[in-house]
């Protein structure tokens, strides 16, 4: 297995992957002994649209309805179901998930920011990332009839706080 060799080489480096055992196999991390702490993460994504599609979203004239409202709800729902989509992700209680969508008229883009917060023994980064991603995919789904060239991208973690590794800020 080529994957295992690559993973084993990575494991030999100073840092190791928490979701990989010593033999390079995927595993769920045991967080049972970790104390729940306040954790928060912020992720962003972006959907680049044609002028026509952007104008439909801006004017709330898409055939499928209010693109921004539906995408916001889809993002929140995705955060709540992250552990069902990502196999090694722990189900965690979410205190709050916020998804904001803004329009950038100059770039004909929808800018998405998702924030998730929990009090749990493991982080909430994947929930924020899932929210930002699925909100973007939902924008695409709602405009694809007029813009199949729309691009969902720039998905990234912006910030995370809490837990043993402390704070990360892009």
Predicted pLDDT at 157: 98
Query: Could you report the per-residue pLDDT of 142-155, keeping only the tens digit for each?
Result: 999 999 999 999 99
Extents of the domains making up the chain: 1-30, 32-169
* Cβ atoms of 79 and 94 closer than 8 Å: yes
Cα–chain-centroid distance for residue 115?
A: 9
- pLDDT higher than 70, residue 27: yes
Give the CATH architecture of domain 32-169: 2-Layer Sandwich (3.30)
> DSSP 3-state assignment of 124?
coil
Q: How many beta carbons lie within 10 A of that of residue 28, not counting itself?
A: 11
Residue predicted with more confidence, 17 or 161? 161
Q: Among 96-105, 120-129, 139-148, 161-170, where is mean pLDDT lowest?
A: 161-170
Predicted confidence band of residue 133 (pLDDT cuts 50, 70, 90): very high
| 46 against 5, higher pLDDT | 46
Question: Has 48 been annotated as catalytic?
Answer: no
Higher pLDDT, 22 or 17: 22
Helices and strands counted in the chain (H then E): 5, 5
Nearest to 119 by CA among 98, 94, 99, 91: 94
Q: What is the DSSP letter of 4?
A: H
- Mean pLDDT, to the nearest integer, of 125-153? 98
pLDDT of 110 reads 98
Q: Could you say which of 102, 104, 141, 147 is catalytic?
A: 141
């Amino acid at each position: 297995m080529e994957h295992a060799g690559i993973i084993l080489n990575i494991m030999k480096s100073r840092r190791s992957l928490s979701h990989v055992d010593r033999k390079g196999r995927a595993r769920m991390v045991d967080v049972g002994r970790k104390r729940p702490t306040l954790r928060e993460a912020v992720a962003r994504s972006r959907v680049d649209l044609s002028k026509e599609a952007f104008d439909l979203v801006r004017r709330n004239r898409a055939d499928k309805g209010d693109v921004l409202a539906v995408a916001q709800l889809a993002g929140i729902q995705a955060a709540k179901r992250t552990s069902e989509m990502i196999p090694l992700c722990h189900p965690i209680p979410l205190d709050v998930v916020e998804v904001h969508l803004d329009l950038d008229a100059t770039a004909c883009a929808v800018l998405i920011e998702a924030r998730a917060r929990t009090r749990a023994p493991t982080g909430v980064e994947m929930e924020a990332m899932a929210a930002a991603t699925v909100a973007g995919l939902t924008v695409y789904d709602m405009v694809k009839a007029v813009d199949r060239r729309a691009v969902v991208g720039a998905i990234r973690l912006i910030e995370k706080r809490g837990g043993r590794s402390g704070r990360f800020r892009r």
